[in-house]
């Protein structure tokens, strides 16, 4: 190998373009031995060490790059990335902030920083970072997505809906953005707008079980029970192992029994719950629904026994104790009702979220990755790279 530094650098870059990280690392190590005062060489070495998940080696190289050039924005960004992967969140946040302060040219660092704040529950600061990233990179729709996700966590549904709508307008083929737009409208109470969003999303991906289930729930609230049942059944056809779809279908069938008193509806609900519990025996929403079905079918003692067994398994879940109070009273078992009431008071938090077990239902067994949409919108907006590692401003010294 030639001793020429320029030749070493060119050879290292050529290896990098071919994806040969090991050879690139070897060449960059030779280069920094020859020219240790070049910060971009240390940063380039770190970039390839990060690609191989050598976090400690990358951090050591980046410290040297930043010693030589303290305002080196991309080195700060890469340093933050390595620290984040090591789980050193506070230090990673500091490096991402330093990268931004030094004039960062990579939108993803705003994204990473915002998401770190979300992970720490610092939603106000996460929103501030996301809005700053959106101002700095108005064409990078990934920042709209990050901001929309944060607004959802802050329960600002209409603002979140507007952000998802903007993404969908720029990327009309992005199913995930359209589906989230419909969902945000749904939670905001715009049922017709939500229905339009869900149906548009299903036009893009008819086999999306989650969107079908959300549409089914919306149609149920609109009183269109036949259409709701059809949506749930289609979700099950698409994904037979989708436990949540079976539970929501069983809930709908139980409701239809209350209206029609048709034994067919009640038995169909029982079958769906039995299948769901065979696949996921400890799903609390399914157990609660089974108890309700048994009660409706006149099996009062069996209904209470289901709750008793579940309360022993999950003594921390207030729903079981709450229902035991009411059903024990109906059976004139006053002592048991009192015991259940005391247990309920011990575990129920105020305010008590009675939808918690339903909100905890599992997703489909093989969901589409949520990360799809940011990549799609980033490419459509001409964002800097498909790589997950912050870009390195590699250039000859």
pLDDT at 2 exceeding the cut of 80 = no
Give pLDDT, residue 371. Answer: 36
pLDDT at 380 exceeding the cut of 90 = no
Give pLDDT, residue 116. Answer: 96
**pLDDT tier at 370, thresholds 50, 70, 90:** very low
**pLDDT tier at 366, thresholds 50, 70, 90:** low
pLDDT digits (tens, 9 = 90+) for 290-313: 999 999 999 999 999 999 999 999
pLDDT digits (tens, 9 = 90+) for 158-179: 999 999 999 989 989 989 989 9
Surface-to-core class of residue 65, CB atoms within 10 Å of its CB (0-12 exposed, 13-18 middle, 19+ buried) = buried
Among residues of the chain, what percentage have pLDDT more than 70?
91
What gap in Å lies between CA 281 and CA 9, rounded to an integer? 60
What domains are there in the chain, each with its CATH number? 1-105 (1.25.40.10), 155-204 (no CATH), 206-298 (1.25.40.10), 304-360 (no CATH)
pLDDT digits (tens, 9 = 90+) for 120-138: 999 999 999 999 999 988 8
Measured in degrees and rounded to the nearest 5, phi and psi for residue 300 equal -65, -45
Give pLDDT, residue 374. Answer: 30
Distance of CA 323 to the CA centre of its chain: 32
**pLDDT tier at 28, thresholds 50, 70, 90:** confident
Among residues of the chain, what percentage have pLDDT more than 90?
70
pLDDT digits (tens, 9 = 90+) for 58-102: 999 999 999 999 999 999 999 999 999 999 999 999 999 999 999
By residue count, the chain amounts to: 397
């Amino acid at each position: 190998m030639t001793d020429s530094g320029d030749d070493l650098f060119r050879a290292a870059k050529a290896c990098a373009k071919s994806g040969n990280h090991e050879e690139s690392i070897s060449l960059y190590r030779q280069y920094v031995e020859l020219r240790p005062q070049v910060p971009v060489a240390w940063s380039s070495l770190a970039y390839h060490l990060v690609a191989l998940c050598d976090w400690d080696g990358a951090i050591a190289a980046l410290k040297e790059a930043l010693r030589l050039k303290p305002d080196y924005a991309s080195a700060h960004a890469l340093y933050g990335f390595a620290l984040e992967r090591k789980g050193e969140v506070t230090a990673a946040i500091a490096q991402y902030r330093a990268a931004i302060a030094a004039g960062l040219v990579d939108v993803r660092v705003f994204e990473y920083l915002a998401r770190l704040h979300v992970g720490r529950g610092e939603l106000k600061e996460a929103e501030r970072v996301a809005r700053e990233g959106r101002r700095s990179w108005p064409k990078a729709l990934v920042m709209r997505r990050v901001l929309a996700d944060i607004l959802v966590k802050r329960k600002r549904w209409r603002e979140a809906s507007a952000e998802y709508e903007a993404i969908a307008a720029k990327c009309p083929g992005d199913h995930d953005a359209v589906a989230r737009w419909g969902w945000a409208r749904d939670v905001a109470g715009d049922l017709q707008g939500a229905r339009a969003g869900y149906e548009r999303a299903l036009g893009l991906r008819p086999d999306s079980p989650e969107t079908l289930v959300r549409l089914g729930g919306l149609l149920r609230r609109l009183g269109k029970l036949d259409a709701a049942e059809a949506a749930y059944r289609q979700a099950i056809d698409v994904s037979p192992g989708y436990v949540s779809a079976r539970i929501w279908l069983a809930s709908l069938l139980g409701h239809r029994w209350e209206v029609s008193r048709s034994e067919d509806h009640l038995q169909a609900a029982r079958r769906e719950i039995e299948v769901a519990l065979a696949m996921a025996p400890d799903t609390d929403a399914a157990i609660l629904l089974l108890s309700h079905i048994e009660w409706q079918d006149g099996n009062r003692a069996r209904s209470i026994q289901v709750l008793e067994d579940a309360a022993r398994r999950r003594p921390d879940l207030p729903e079981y104790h709450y229902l035991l109070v009411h059903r024990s009273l109906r059976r004139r078992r006053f002592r048991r009702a009192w015991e259940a009431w005391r247990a309920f008071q011990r575990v129920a938090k105020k305010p008590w979220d009675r939808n918690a077990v339903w909100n905890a239902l599992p997703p489909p067994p093989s969901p589409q990755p949520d990360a799809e949409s940011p990549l799609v919108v980033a490419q459509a907006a001409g964002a800097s790279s498909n790589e997950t590692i912050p870009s390195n401003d590699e250039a000859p010294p």
